[in-house]
Amino acid sequence: MRIVAGRHRGRSLVAPAGEATRPTSDRVRQALFDMLWHAPWAGRERVEGARVLDAFAGTGALGLEALSRGAAKAVFIEQDRAALAALRTNIAALKAEANTRVIAGDATRPPRADAACGLVFLDPPYGKDVVARAVQALAASGWLAPDALVVAEVARDEVLDVPGFEAVAERAHGAARLVFLRAPIPSPVLTGEGQGGGNPSPATPPA
């Protein structure tokens, strides 16, 4: 497993032994970032300079790929001890400590965010039906910026419905399916005359 493109292109990433962690393959990662780069609903500005969240991070391949392609910061959430060790090894190998933060925890019960992220990757175990719960928990904890793009990798036949989020695209790759979701933009809070509750205009004095 390697970084596909960018300043760390070709650098190897380690993964823990066993089946507890299922890293996104290089081929699927390339397809994912190609879509982000060229799609009208995304564009390279979704990656370059972005603050990125990689939840269910595993080896960190998605967040580290984003950093390699110009993201400014990557935050990783992972709870498996072996995966955390591999993640920290990969960050150190790329000398990316200054641009990363690792949170040892559950993405469905995240801590409060210190800053919102515009690009979010979710790659949980297939068939566990946790993507919707994780998205809602992350949104409630302040991790998702308005209009954030959420990229979820799920099983090819897995049903995914996240209330309030728009599915802008999806693409199947073998046993996997990438689903691209856009977070809602909060409606502006109207004040004064915009709410119809402002002070009435002064009455015209009698002639």
Bridge-partner residues for 201, per DSSP?
Answer: none
Whats the size of the chain, residue-wise? 207
Q: According to the CATH classification, is domain 26-185 in 3.40.50.150?
A: yes
Helix spans in 39-123 (H): 61-68, 81-93
**pLDDT of the residue at 62:** 96
**pLDDT of the residue at 25:** 80
Beta-carbon contacts of 69 under 8 Å, excluding residues fewer than 6 positions away, are 5, 6, 33, 47, 48
Domain boundary assignment for the chain = 26-185
The average pLDDT across 11-31 equals 81
Q: Dump pLDDT digits (tens) for 127-154.
A: 888 999 999 999 999 999 999 999 999 9
State pTM to two decimals.
Answer: 0.86
Is residue 193 over pLDDT 80?
no
**pLDDT of the residue at 17:** 78
Enter the DSSP assignment of 89. Answer: H
Distance CA 173, CA 159 (A): 16
- As given in the structure block, the two tokens for residue 158 are 């897995």
Distance CA 55, CA 62 (A): 10
Enter the DSSP assignment of 121. Answer: E
Enter the DSSP assignment of 65. Answer: H
Q: Dump pLDDT digits (tens) for 66-108.
A: 999 999 999 999 999 999 999 999 999 999 999 999 999 999 9
Average pLDDT, the chain: 89
